[in-house]
Amino acid sequence: MDYELTVIVPLYNEEENLLRVEMELTKYLEIALKKTCILFVNDGSTDGSLSIIKEISARNEAFDYISFDRNYGLSAALKAGFDNVKTPLLGYIDSDLQTDPGDFNLLLEHIDHHDLVTGVRVNRKDSFKKNLSSLIANGIRRSFTNDGMDDTGCPLKVIRTSAAQNIPMFKGLHRFLPAMILLQNGKVVQVPVRHYPRIAGTAKFHIWNRLFGPLMDCFAYLWMKHKYINYHIKEKSTC
């Protein structure tokens, strides 16, 4: 089918959430502004997640999956998703459903004039410690990247696939997606989206990978920015 948007759903040990994910994404497919399919990326789950996404994919033609042999982390799961997308646009949402799939339509309203549209969570429903660590981490990242983004950790994004597949991904770079699009001279914008508390499963992030890890990644980004190759061909002959 001629899909226009692939929504990537990375997951690790989310068996308690996946039937709800199926239900909410199926609802979204009925109202999506672009013809949409879903791609689960199983990051080496050790619970029953793989069996569930196999069942979901078997009964829904718009759902597919890929599965790792072991756990590699969110950046690797996103890269695998980027590499396997065939549609001109891709989206990203977490399997904890703390953001609303329906808000993809808010992002899609802006994608014609941008290369990446990211959500910014309003009235966040996380713990004080989680919100504070995210606030500090985002402030540190902005000071390094000058990307103008308030909430790069928001797990709701739409990206032009051609731009996403040009991102040289490394571990931790999922926090720098807007900055990496800017390195390509692309255009980015953030749009307010809804946020909900996690109602099932367990968060996979803690103070180390929310605060200290991103600080180290900022230096990796600066190195990449200095070394990044970006060019545009003005003319060429044809064979």
Confidence tier at 207 by pLDDT (50, 70, 90):
low
Domains of the chain, CATH where assigned: 5-128+149-202 (3.90.550.10)
Angle at the Cα of 235 from the Cα atoms of 229 and 238, rounded to 5 degrees: 110
E strand or H helix that includes residue 63: strand 63-67
Name the average pLDDT for the chain: 85
Instruction: Give tens-digit pLDDT for 19-29.
Output: 999 999 999 99
Q: Quickly tell me which residue has 């009964």 as its tokens.
A: 59
Beta-bridge partner residues of 90: 6, 159
231 C-beta neighbours (distance < 10 Å), count:
5
Q: How deeply is 23 buried, as exposed, middle or buried, from its count of CB atoms within 10 A (0-12, 13-18, 19+)?
A: exposed
Beta-bridge partner residues of 188: 116
Say if residue 132's pLDDT is above 70: no
Range with lowest mean pLDDT among 41-55, 126-140, 223-237: 126-140
Which regions of 122-220 does DSSP assign to beta strands (E)?
A: 156-160, 188-193
Say if residue 173's pLDDT is above 70: yes
For residue 213, the one-letter residue type is G
Say if residue 235's pLDDT is above 60: yes
Say if residue 224's pLDDT is above 70: yes
Helical H runs in 146-185? 161-164, 177-183
Say if residue 175's pLDDT is above 60: yes
Predicted confidence at residue 130, as pLDDT, reads: 61
Confidence tier at 38 by pLDDT (50, 70, 90):
very high
216: its two tokens = 């180290």
